Structure 1
Protein backbone atom coordinates (compact mmCIF):
# COMPACT_ATOMS: atom_id res chain seq x y z
CA UNK A 1 0.00 0.00 0.00
CA UNK A 2 1.56 3.34 -0.97
CA UNK A 3 2.19 5.85 1.76
CA UNK A 4 -0.50 8.54 1.95
CA UNK A 5 0.89 11.71 3.51
CA UNK A 6 -2.57 13.22 4.06
CA UNK A 7 -3.28 10.63 6.79
CA UNK A 8 -0.66 12.17 9.07
CA UNK A 9 -1.87 14.55 11.72
CA UNK A 10 -0.46 18.08 12.00
CA UNK A 11 1.68 17.06 15.00
CA UNK A 12 3.56 14.42 12.98
CA UNK A 13 6.65 15.61 11.14
CA UNK A 14 7.98 14.63 7.74
CA UNK A 15 10.67 12.45 9.35
CA UNK A 16 8.07 10.22 11.04
CA UNK A 17 6.17 9.79 7.76
CA UNK A 18 9.35 8.68 5.99
CA UNK A 19 10.06 6.21 8.82
CA UNK A 20 6.56 4.72 8.52
CA UNK A 21 7.07 4.31 4.77
CA UNK A 22 10.35 2.46 5.34
CA UNK A 23 8.62 0.17 7.87
CA UNK A 24 5.88 -0.71 5.38
CA UNK A 25 8.37 -1.44 2.60
CA UNK A 26 10.51 -3.46 5.04
CA UNK A 27 7.49 -5.49 6.06
CA UNK A 28 6.82 -6.39 2.43
CA UNK A 29 10.46 -7.40 1.95
CA UNK A 30 10.08 -9.81 4.86
CA UNK A 31 7.99 -12.11 2.62
CA UNK A 32 8.99 -14.04 -0.47
CA UNK A 33 8.25 -17.07 -2.63
CA UNK A 34 9.96 -20.44 -2.71
CA UNK A 35 9.33 -23.39 -5.00
CA UNK A 36 9.43 -27.03 -3.94
CA UNK A 37 11.56 -29.16 -6.28
CA UNK A 38 11.82 -32.59 -4.65
CA UNK A 39 9.50 -35.07 -2.93
CA UNK A 40 11.00 -34.89 0.58
CA UNK A 41 7.89 -33.13 1.99
CA UNK A 42 5.22 -35.34 0.33
CA UNK A 43 2.30 -35.52 1.22
CA UNK A 44 2.29 -31.99 2.70
CA UNK A 45 4.14 -30.41 -0.23
CA UNK A 46 4.67 -31.70 -3.76
CA UNK A 47 7.24 -30.74 -6.39
CA UNK A 48 5.97 -27.62 -8.14
CA UNK A 49 4.21 -26.19 -5.09
CA UNK A 50 4.94 -22.55 -4.33
CA UNK A 51 5.41 -21.35 -0.75
CA UNK A 52 4.84 -17.90 0.65
CA UNK A 53 7.60 -17.57 3.24
CA UNK A 54 8.48 -15.06 5.93
CA UNK A 55 12.16 -14.33 6.40
CA UNK A 56 13.37 -14.10 10.01
CA UNK A 57 10.08 -15.41 11.47
CA UNK A 58 10.04 -17.17 14.83
CA UNK A 59 10.21 -20.93 14.28
CA UNK A 60 8.27 -23.37 16.45
CA UNK A 61 8.28 -27.16 16.44
CA UNK A 62 6.11 -28.39 13.57
CA UNK A 63 6.75 -25.39 11.30
CA UNK A 64 7.82 -25.90 7.70
CA UNK A 65 11.03 -23.94 7.12
CA UNK A 66 13.39 -23.01 4.31
CA UNK A 67 17.02 -23.50 5.30
CA UNK A 68 20.50 -23.65 3.86
CA UNK A 69 21.83 -27.19 3.50
CA UNK A 70 24.55 -27.58 6.15
CA UNK A 71 27.02 -29.17 3.68
CA UNK A 72 26.09 -27.04 0.62
CA UNK A 73 25.06 -23.63 1.89
CA UNK A 74 24.29 -22.39 -1.64
CA UNK A 75 21.44 -24.95 -1.71
CA UNK A 76 18.10 -24.07 -0.07
CA UNK A 77 15.93 -26.93 1.18
CA UNK A 78 12.44 -27.19 2.69
CA UNK A 79 11.95 -29.30 5.82
CA UNK A 80 9.84 -29.48 8.97
CA UNK A 81 11.41 -28.16 12.19
CA UNK A 82 10.80 -31.10 14.53
CA UNK A 83 12.47 -29.93 17.75
CA UNK A 84 15.09 -27.65 19.27
CA UNK A 85 18.40 -29.27 20.07
CA UNK A 86 20.97 -26.97 21.62
CA UNK A 87 21.58 -23.99 19.30
CA UNK A 88 19.75 -25.45 16.32
CA UNK A 89 16.87 -27.44 14.88
CA UNK A 90 16.36 -31.11 14.15
CA UNK A 91 14.63 -31.03 10.76
CA UNK A 92 12.97 -33.80 8.79
CA UNK A 93 11.01 -34.18 5.61
CA UNK A 94 7.47 -35.53 5.84
CA UNK A 95 8.34 -38.28 3.34
CA UNK A 96 9.90 -41.13 5.39
CA UNK A 97 11.61 -42.56 2.29
CA UNK A 98 13.76 -39.46 1.64
CA UNK A 99 16.51 -39.01 4.23
CA UNK A 100 18.13 -35.76 3.10
CA UNK A 101 17.50 -34.18 6.50
CA UNK A 102 18.86 -34.21 10.07
CA UNK A 103 19.03 -38.00 9.97
CA UNK A 104 21.83 -37.45 7.44
CA UNK A 105 23.42 -34.12 8.49
CA UNK A 106 22.44 -33.64 12.14
CA UNK A 107 21.19 -30.50 13.87
CA UNK A 108 20.92 -27.37 11.71
CA UNK A 109 22.30 -24.21 13.37
CA UNK A 110 19.81 -21.33 13.79
CA UNK A 111 21.74 -19.10 11.39
CA UNK A 112 21.04 -21.53 8.51
CA UNK A 113 17.25 -21.29 8.95
CA UNK A 114 16.24 -18.70 6.36
CA UNK A 115 12.44 -18.48 6.49
CA UNK A 116 9.20 -19.99 7.77
CA UNK A 117 6.55 -21.17 5.29
CA UNK A 118 3.09 -19.65 5.77
CA UNK A 119 1.02 -20.60 2.73
CA UNK A 120 1.24 -23.29 0.07
CA UNK A 121 -0.02 -22.52 -3.44
CA UNK A 122 -0.43 -25.60 -5.59
CA UNK A 123 -0.28 -24.90 -9.35
CA UNK A 124 -3.23 -26.08 -11.45
CA UNK A 125 -2.85 -29.47 -13.14
CA UNK A 126 -3.80 -28.79 -16.74
CA UNK A 127 -6.12 -26.11 -18.06
CA UNK A 128 -9.23 -25.31 -16.02
CA UNK A 129 -11.96 -25.16 -18.69
CA UNK A 130 -14.94 -24.45 -16.46
CA UNK A 131 -15.75 -22.02 -13.70
CA UNK A 132 -16.45 -24.89 -11.30
CA UNK A 133 -13.07 -26.45 -12.16
CA UNK A 134 -11.29 -23.15 -11.53
CA UNK A 135 -13.14 -22.64 -8.23
CA UNK A 136 -12.40 -26.20 -7.14
CA UNK A 137 -8.70 -25.65 -7.84
CA UNK A 138 -8.70 -22.29 -6.01
CA UNK A 139 -10.27 -23.81 -2.89
CA UNK A 140 -7.78 -26.69 -2.73
CA UNK A 141 -4.68 -24.89 -4.04
CA UNK A 142 -4.13 -22.29 -1.34
CA UNK A 143 -3.58 -23.71 2.14
CA UNK A 144 -1.79 -22.54 5.27
CA UNK A 145 1.29 -24.63 6.04
CA UNK A 146 0.93 -25.62 9.68
CA UNK A 147 1.71 -28.68 11.74
CA UNK A 148 -1.94 -29.47 12.35
CA UNK A 149 -2.62 -29.49 8.58
CA UNK A 150 -0.12 -32.23 7.82
CA UNK A 151 -1.38 -35.83 8.15
CA UNK A 152 2.15 -37.19 8.42
CA UNK A 153 2.97 -34.75 11.25
CA UNK A 154 -0.06 -35.96 13.21
CA UNK A 155 1.03 -39.56 12.76
CA UNK A 156 4.61 -38.78 13.77
CA UNK A 157 3.51 -36.85 16.86
CA UNK A 158 1.48 -39.76 18.31
Structure 2
Protein backbone atom coordinates (compact mmCIF):
# COMPACT_ATOMS: atom_id res chain seq x y z
CA UNK A 1 0.00 0.00 0.00
CA UNK A 2 1.45 3.36 -1.00
CA UNK A 3 0.04 6.81 -0.49
CA UNK A 4 2.22 9.59 -1.74
CA UNK A 5 1.79 12.88 0.10
CA UNK A 6 3.69 16.00 -0.89
CA UNK A 7 2.78 18.71 1.56
CA UNK A 8 3.69 20.29 4.85
CA UNK A 9 0.17 21.32 5.89
CA UNK A 10 -0.87 20.81 9.50
CA UNK A 11 -2.89 17.68 8.96
CA UNK A 12 -1.05 15.87 6.24
CA UNK A 13 1.94 13.70 6.95
CA UNK A 14 4.87 13.53 4.58
CA UNK A 15 5.17 9.78 4.46
CA UNK A 16 4.84 6.62 2.50
CA UNK A 17 2.13 4.75 4.33
CA UNK A 18 2.97 1.10 4.21
CA UNK A 19 1.10 -0.34 7.17
CA UNK A 20 -2.28 -0.13 8.81
CA UNK A 21 -1.11 1.88 11.83
CA UNK A 22 0.33 4.65 9.65
CA UNK A 23 -2.77 4.65 7.47
CA UNK A 24 -5.05 4.82 10.51
CA UNK A 25 -3.11 7.75 12.00
CA UNK A 26 -3.22 9.55 8.65
CA UNK A 27 -6.97 9.02 8.26
CA UNK A 28 -7.65 10.15 11.83
CA UNK A 29 -5.56 13.30 11.40
CA UNK A 30 -7.20 14.10 8.07
CA UNK A 31 -10.72 13.63 9.46
CA UNK A 32 -9.94 15.77 12.50
CA UNK A 33 -8.61 18.54 10.26
CA UNK A 34 -11.67 18.29 7.99
CA UNK A 35 -13.95 18.60 11.04
CA UNK A 36 -12.03 21.66 12.22
CA UNK A 37 -12.09 23.23 8.75
CA UNK A 38 -15.84 22.71 8.48
CA UNK A 39 -16.44 24.05 11.98
CA UNK A 40 -14.26 27.13 11.33
CA UNK A 41 -16.06 27.78 8.03
CA UNK A 42 -19.55 26.99 9.34
CA UNK A 43 -19.96 24.01 7.02
CA UNK A 44 -21.89 20.88 7.93
CA UNK A 45 -19.62 17.84 8.08
CA UNK A 46 -22.36 15.23 8.17
CA UNK A 47 -21.84 11.58 9.02
CA UNK A 48 -22.20 10.68 5.34
CA UNK A 49 -19.66 13.29 4.21
CA UNK A 50 -17.28 12.14 6.91
CA UNK A 51 -17.65 8.49 5.91
CA UNK A 52 -17.14 9.23 2.20
CA UNK A 53 -13.94 11.10 3.03
CA UNK A 54 -12.80 8.21 5.25
CA UNK A 55 -13.52 5.73 2.46
CA UNK A 56 -11.39 7.72 0.03
CA UNK A 57 -8.59 8.25 2.54
CA UNK A 58 -8.53 4.51 3.28
CA UNK A 59 -8.69 3.45 -0.37
CA UNK A 60 -5.59 2.19 -2.12
CA UNK A 61 -6.95 3.15 -5.53
CA UNK A 62 -9.33 5.84 -6.83
CA UNK A 63 -12.99 4.95 -6.34
CA UNK A 64 -15.99 5.62 -8.51
CA UNK A 65 -19.20 6.98 -7.04
CA UNK A 66 -20.95 3.62 -7.29
CA UNK A 67 -18.16 1.81 -5.43
CA UNK A 68 -18.47 4.43 -2.69
CA UNK A 69 -22.26 4.12 -2.74
CA UNK A 70 -22.00 0.34 -2.40
CA UNK A 71 -19.85 0.69 0.69
CA UNK A 72 -22.18 3.34 2.13
CA UNK A 73 -25.15 1.05 1.52
CA UNK A 74 -23.37 -1.86 3.22
CA UNK A 75 -22.86 0.40 6.25
CA UNK A 76 -26.48 1.59 6.37
CA UNK A 77 -26.08 5.07 4.88
CA UNK A 78 -28.50 4.48 2.00
CA UNK A 79 -28.45 3.10 -1.51
CA UNK A 80 -29.63 5.98 -3.68
CA UNK A 81 -27.00 7.60 -5.93
CA UNK A 82 -27.70 11.13 -4.61
CA UNK A 83 -26.35 9.98 -1.22
CA UNK A 84 -22.85 9.51 -2.65
CA UNK A 85 -22.98 12.30 -5.23
CA UNK A 86 -24.06 14.97 -2.74
CA UNK A 87 -21.27 14.02 -0.36
CA UNK A 88 -18.72 13.93 -3.20
CA UNK A 89 -19.89 17.32 -4.51
CA UNK A 90 -19.47 18.83 -1.04
CA UNK A 91 -16.05 17.26 -0.52
CA UNK A 92 -14.84 18.30 -3.97
CA UNK A 93 -16.14 21.86 -3.77
CA UNK A 94 -14.46 22.29 -0.37
CA UNK A 95 -11.08 20.92 -1.42
CA UNK A 96 -11.11 17.56 0.34
CA UNK A 97 -11.21 15.34 -2.78
CA UNK A 98 -10.54 15.52 -6.50
CA UNK A 99 -12.24 13.83 -9.40
CA UNK A 100 -9.88 12.02 -11.77
CA UNK A 101 -11.83 12.49 -14.99
CA UNK A 102 -9.98 9.85 -17.00
CA UNK A 103 -11.04 7.21 -14.47
CA UNK A 104 -14.41 8.70 -13.51
CA UNK A 105 -13.22 8.20 -9.95
CA UNK A 106 -12.31 10.19 -6.86
CA UNK A 107 -9.21 10.48 -4.68
CA UNK A 108 -8.59 12.27 -1.40
CA UNK A 109 -6.69 15.51 -1.97
CA UNK A 110 -3.02 15.35 -0.95
CA UNK A 111 -2.92 19.13 -0.46
CA UNK A 112 -6.28 20.15 1.00
CA UNK A 113 -6.98 23.83 1.44
CA UNK A 114 -3.78 24.86 -0.27
CA UNK A 115 -4.44 26.69 -3.52
CA UNK A 116 -3.50 24.38 -6.36
CA UNK A 117 -4.69 22.82 -9.57
CA UNK A 118 -4.41 19.06 -9.30
CA UNK A 119 -2.07 17.05 -11.49
CA UNK A 120 -2.39 13.29 -11.50
CA UNK A 121 0.07 10.56 -12.42
CA UNK A 122 -2.04 7.53 -13.34
CA UNK A 123 -0.47 4.08 -13.65
CA UNK A 124 -2.00 2.25 -16.59
CA UNK A 125 -0.88 -1.06 -15.11
CA UNK A 126 -2.04 -1.09 -11.47
CA UNK A 127 -4.44 1.88 -11.55
CA UNK A 128 -2.72 3.82 -8.79
CA UNK A 129 -2.93 7.60 -8.84
CA UNK A 130 -0.49 10.06 -7.34
CA UNK A 131 -1.31 13.71 -6.96
CA UNK A 132 1.71 15.71 -8.06
CA UNK A 133 2.57 19.34 -7.47
CA UNK A 134 3.25 20.65 -10.94
CA UNK A 135 3.03 24.38 -11.61
CA UNK A 136 4.54 25.25 -15.01
CA UNK A 137 2.00 23.47 -17.25
CA UNK A 138 -0.83 25.01 -15.24
CA UNK A 139 0.68 28.46 -15.70
CA UNK A 140 0.94 27.89 -19.43
CA UNK A 141 -2.71 26.79 -19.64
CA UNK A 142 -3.85 29.83 -17.64
CA UNK A 143 -1.76 32.17 -19.82
CA UNK A 144 -3.22 30.66 -23.00
CA UNK A 145 -6.72 31.00 -21.58
CA UNK A 146 -6.16 34.66 -20.69
CA UNK A 147 -4.75 35.37 -24.15
CA UNK A 148 -7.80 33.75 -25.76
CA UNK A 149 -10.32 35.38 -23.46
CA UNK A 150 -11.25 31.96 -22.09
CA UNK A 151 -12.45 31.60 -18.49
CA UNK A 152 -11.24 28.36 -16.88
CA UNK A 153 -13.75 26.82 -14.50
CA UNK A 154 -11.83 23.69 -13.56
CA UNK A 155 -8.32 22.58 -14.37
CA UNK A 156 -6.38 19.36 -13.90
CA UNK A 157 -3.62 17.54 -15.69
CA UNK A 158 -3.72 13.77 -15.98
CA UNK A 159 -0.62 11.90 -17.15
CA UNK A 160 -0.78 8.17 -17.85
CA UNK A 161 2.25 5.91 -17.57
CA UNK A 162 3.85 3.28 -15.35
CA UNK A 163 4.42 3.91 -11.63
CA UNK A 164 7.74 3.19 -9.92
CA UNK A 165 6.39 0.07 -8.23
CA UNK A 166 5.23 -1.46 -11.53
CA UNK A 167 8.44 -0.39 -13.29
CA UNK A 168 10.63 -2.07 -10.67
CA UNK A 169 8.59 -5.27 -10.86
CA UNK A 170 9.00 -5.43 -14.64
CA UNK A 171 5.52 -4.45 -15.79
Same fold? TM cut 0.5:
no
**Which structure shows the bigger proportion of residues in helix conformation?**
2
**Which structure shows the bigger proportion of residues in strand conformation?**
1
Normalized against structure 1, the TM-score is what?
Answer: 0.23
Which of the pair has more CA radius of gyration?
1
